[in-house]
Chains A and B, each alone.
Chain A
Amino acid sequence: MLGYGNPGRRDDGLGPALAARVEALRLAGVTVESDYQLAIEHAQLAAEHDIVVFADAATDVPGRAPFYLRPVAPSPDASCSSHRLSPPAVLQLAADCFGARPAAWLVGIRANDTVSFAEGLTADAERNLAAALAALAHSIDDWRRTAGRPGRS
């Protein structure tokens, strides 16, 4: 699991916050990393795992849902023109450089305030985080039980 974002910009830290909550669960077979943004070295990290879960703050969550959990596939998208990569670009690098195609998911957690210079989540973001954590824990259980790799191409 790779949570990314800036905890110094309030809800932009939702990704690292989810990573910290998952790490606290001490789930067997689950490794957790946090960073400010996705970069090229995360391709090597992704390549070392069977399933990769990216977690980030999101402002594109449909309706009033607290989060979404979507499969992600490798893709050479526009983020490859910048120093911060998207999850599809990280997966594309993992495929091209390391020959690895892990199953991958993106958890996008609804954020309210990603602009303020402050630590700590807003109350709404805390609730969204709790919902995302509960759902992700179930998904991890399911993946482990079925030993399947959902979304694997």
Chain B
Amino acid sequence: MIEPPVQPSLPPTGSAPRRRTVVIDPVTRVEGHGKVTILLDEHNEVAEARLHIVEFRGFERFVLGRPYWEMPVIVQRLCGICPVSHHLAAAKAMDRIVGGEQLTPTAEKIRRLMHYGQIFQSHALHFFHLASPDLLFGTDGTATSAFGAPAPQRNVLAVAAKFPELARQGVMMRKFGQEVIEATAGKRIHGTGAVPGGVNKDLSLAERDALLTSVPPMIEWARRAVQIARDFTIGHLVELLPFGSFDSSHLSLVRPGDGALDLYDGVLRAVDKDGRRLLDDVDGQLYLDVLAEEVRPWSYMKFPFLKALGPEKGWYRVGPLARLNTCAFVPTPEAEAARREFLALTHGRPNNVTMCYHWARMIELLHAIEVIRNLLDDPDLQGDDLVVRGPRREEAVGVVEAPRGTLIHHYRVNRTDEVTLCNLIVATTHNNEPMNRAVAKVARDHLAGRAEISEGLLNHIEVAIRAYDPCLSCATHALGRMALRVELYDCAGRLCATAERA
């Protein structure tokens, strides 16, 4: 929607603070709306740092009383960025409700194609549009890290101006992923392809051939993206290793039996910072036996944890970094070779470097296009056996690995087909505690002890958050303008100064 421009607010006058809070509101170049507050004491040391989610989602309430078959279509309205993930997680739950969880080969492969198209476009969008400005430009001479470029450079248009071919490849990869989704789901955004027990269309030969013609450049560009992320990481190791980093556990789905990376289906596996198993391939239907969520009064986003370890020690990370740490291997050759090189950085042990999310994400980008290429060659995609049914159930859970991590949908349905319970744990929610820790780590390492905090330093906080590619609109419901607002408070809570960029 077109709105009148907002004028930047002028800093009000006030006495010099002895203790102050720095607020970044909203965080930019992430999906959705969140803010960061950092409380500095009288010595400018970090007393507290938090990522707040300030919008309320409420979807778990919206859907109550609606018929179950609407769920795959309704819940994807959570998000315009990765609706396919919600579409498929809900559809997988509804498969079980209708007793159709053993999909036909055509239905499962169509869904997988849809899902890996989603992974491909989402990872490309994040890396080239949102993250690359932090990675491609050098410092402004005053910053203390590899991504302290001047603010006017930190956007996709600056990338396009300086690296037009790279930006063009990012656009075309995003577009290709959207085309895969449209061919399998019917629409690029909010499609209807997955239905309880299967899918409502196959892939025509014309659709397949149109997609196949684009595959070779996509593979080449994905290889190049892995190289860019790898080279950036290796080239800035000294700065990146500690940046927002900390030891953590990791959680994802893996393929049952061999532990391969599988983004569409599998069992829950968690490992600790050293790779020891914390969850040993648990059926997603039993997630409530192993996971719990803590509520904290200052955020609408919950804090999940492993029940066996409790909220203090049971938190973990999800997403590309976690997935490469939990899986035994990547079941496509080029991405597996890239994973081996990735893990060599940490001598085969789990990688706990926050900024390595970008490298891991690009390895998954390469994996996704390898999977898409293999699927497009499979004649099952042109099958006509699309839907199955079996004994009806009243309760079911659907789990997928969304681009940002593990996505859990849990429903109960009564005998008159109405949804009576809905619980959603989205990827960004799993990463709530890690993102808060990353914010605190960067604040302590880069902001503490400084009397003046520049905009470039505040971007360091956002860089750490962006590594997780959080989707705050999924984690909650998002309304709002994407801008940066900084507020300084004294120790009595009085607002001393504000600054805002539109």
Contacts and interface: CB of A to CB of B under 8 A. Distances in A.
A93 B29 CA distance: 17
B349 to A, nearest CB: 34
A39 B31 contact: no
A81 B1 contact: no
Interface stretch (A22-30, A52-60, A128-136, A137-145): A52-60
Contacts of A96: 157, 160-161, 164, 167
A57 B3 CA distance: 9
What band does the interface of chain A fall in when counting residues whose beta carbon is under 8 Å from B? 20 to 34
Interface string B127-146: 01110000000000000000
Contact of A76 (B128, B155, B170): B155
A80 B80 CA distance: 17
Contacts of A81: 28-29, 154-155, 482
A51 interface: no
B297 interface: no
A76 B158 contact: yes
A8 B4 CA distance: 22
B175 interface: yes
Interface residues of B, number: 37
A129 to B, nearest CB: 14
Contacts of A108: 2
Nearest to B502: A78
A83 interface: yes
B125 interface: yes
Interface string B72-114: 0000010011000000000000000000000000000000000
B252 interface: no
B157 A41 contact: no
A40 B1 contact: no
B171 interface: yes
B125 A36 contact: no
A12 B2 CA distance: 10
Given A40-B174, A41-B178, A83 B161 contact: no
A5 interface: yes
Nearest to B484: A81
Contacts of B155: 76, 80-81
Contacts of B174: 39-41
Contacts of B171: 40-41, 43-44, 93, 97
Interface in B6-65: 28-29, 31
A82 B482 contact: yes
A108 B3 CA distance: 10
B3 A59 contact: yes
A97 B167 contact: yes
A149 to B, nearest CB: 23
30 contacts: A5-B1, A8-B77, A12-B1, A35-B189, A36-B80, A36-B190, A37-B80, A40-B171, A41-B171, A41-B174, A41-B175, A43-B171, A59-B2, A59-B3, A80-B157, A82-B28, A83-B81, A83-B129, A92-B157, A92-B160, A93-B157, A93-B160, A93-B167, A93-B171, A96-B160, A96-B164, A96-B167, A97-B164, A106-B2, A114-B1
Interface of B: 1-4, 28-29, 31, 77, 80-81, 125, 128-130, 154-158, 160-161, 164, 167-168, 170-172, 174-175, 178, 188-190, 482-483, 501-502
Q: Please name the 3 residue pairs, one residue from A and one from B, whose CB atoms are nearest each other, closest first.
A: A82-B482, A96-B160, A80-B155
Given A81-B482, A106-B2, 9 more contacts: A36-B190, A40-B128, A41-B175, A76-B155, A76-B158, A81-B155, A82-B482, A92-B160, A97-B168
